[in-house]
Amino acid sequence: MRRILLLLSIVAELGLLISCSETIDTSQRYVFKDHTVLSYMLQHDSYSSYVDLLKQVPISPQSKSSVYQLLSARGNFTVFAPTNEAIDEYLHQLTESGIIPAPAWEAIPDSLIADSLRKVIVYNSIIDGGDEEYYEVCMFPAQNNEEFPRSNMNELKLSVSYGSNPDSIYINRSCPISIANRDIRTINGMIHQVEKVIAPTDVTLAGVLDEYLKGYKQGFVVMAKLCKACGLMDTLSKRQDEVYEQLYIRGKIEEKTPANGLATMTGGYSYAPRHRKYGFTIFAEPDSFWEEKLGKPASEITPADVQSWVAKGNYYPQAVADDNYKMPNNLLYQWTTYHVLPFKMSPDRLVFHYNEKGYDYSGSPYKYSIPVMEYYVPLGQRRLVKIYESPESDGVYLNRFPVIDNARRGTGHEIACHPDKIGCRVFKEDETLYEHIGANGYIYAIDAPLAYDDATRNNLAKSRIRMDCMSFFPEVMNNDIRRVPLTDAAHQWVHFPDDDEYKYIGNLSINKGSTFVYYNAYGLKFGSLCGDEVKCVGHWELVFTLPPVPKRGTYEVRYRILTNSDRGVGQFYFGDDPNRLPVTGIPVNLTLGGVDPITGWAADSDHDDDQNAEVDKQMRNNGFMKGEESILILKQPGTTARNNVNRNIIRRIITRATLDPDKTYYLKIKSVLDNTTSEFYMDHIEYCPKEIYDNPDTPEDIW
82 phi and psi, to 5 degrees? -80, 145
465-693 is classed in which CATH architecture?
Sandwich (2.60)
Beta-carbon contacts of residue 262 (< 8 Å; ≥ 6 apart): 270, 493, 515, 517, 535, 537, 566, 677, 679
Q: CA–CA separation, 703 vs 507, rounded Å?
A: 28
Identify the pLDDT of residue 324: 97
**Residue 327: its pLDDT value, please?**
97
In the CATH hierarchy, which top-level class contains the domain 2-194?
Answer: mainly beta
The per-residue pLDDT for range 210-244, each reduced to its tens digit, is 999 999 999 999 999 999 999 999 999 999 999 99
What SS3 string covers 350-392?
CCCCCCECCCCCCCCCCCCCCCEEEEECCCCCCCCEEEEEECC
Task: Compute the distance between CA of residue 116 and CA of residue 131 in angstroms, rounded to an integer.
Answer: 28
The whole-angstrom separation of Cα 58 and Cα 123 is 10
Mean of per-residue pLDDT scores for the chain: 91
**pLDDT tens string 26-37:** 333 455 778 999
Cβ of 67: how many Cβ atoms within 10 Å?
28
Quick check: 538 and 568 in contact, CB under 8 A?
no
Q: In whole angstroms, what is the distance from residue 522 CA to residue 505 CA?
A: 22
The Cβ-side half-sphere exposure at 643, using a 13 Å CA radius, reads 15
pLDDT of 268 = 81
Q: In what order do the strands lie in the sheet with 175-176?
A: 146-151, 157-162, 169-171, 175-176
Tens digit of each residue's pLDDT (9 = 90 or more) over 614-636: 999 999 999 999 999 999 998 88
Position 2 scores a pLDDT of: 40
Sign of CA dihedral 242, 243, 249, 255: negative
* Residue ranges, the chain, pLDDT below 70: 1-31, 263-264, 266-267
Question: What value, to the nearest 5°, has the Cα angle with vertex 604 and ends 599 and 608?
Answer: 125
The rounded distance, in Å, linking the Cα atoms of 635 and 653 is 26
Question: Which residues fall within 8 angstroms of residue 28, CB to CB, at 6 or more apart?
Answer: none
Q: In Å, how far from its chain's centre is CA 80?
A: 26
Residue ranges covered by each domain of the chain: 2-194, 345-425+449-461, 465-693
DSSP-derived letter for residue 47 is G
Residue type, 460: L
At residue 25, the pLDDT reads 33
Phi/psi at 123 (5° precision): -60, -35
Q: How, if at all, do strands 403-404 and 184-186 pair?
A: unpaired
List CB contacts of 318: < 8 A, sequence separation 6 or more. Answer: none
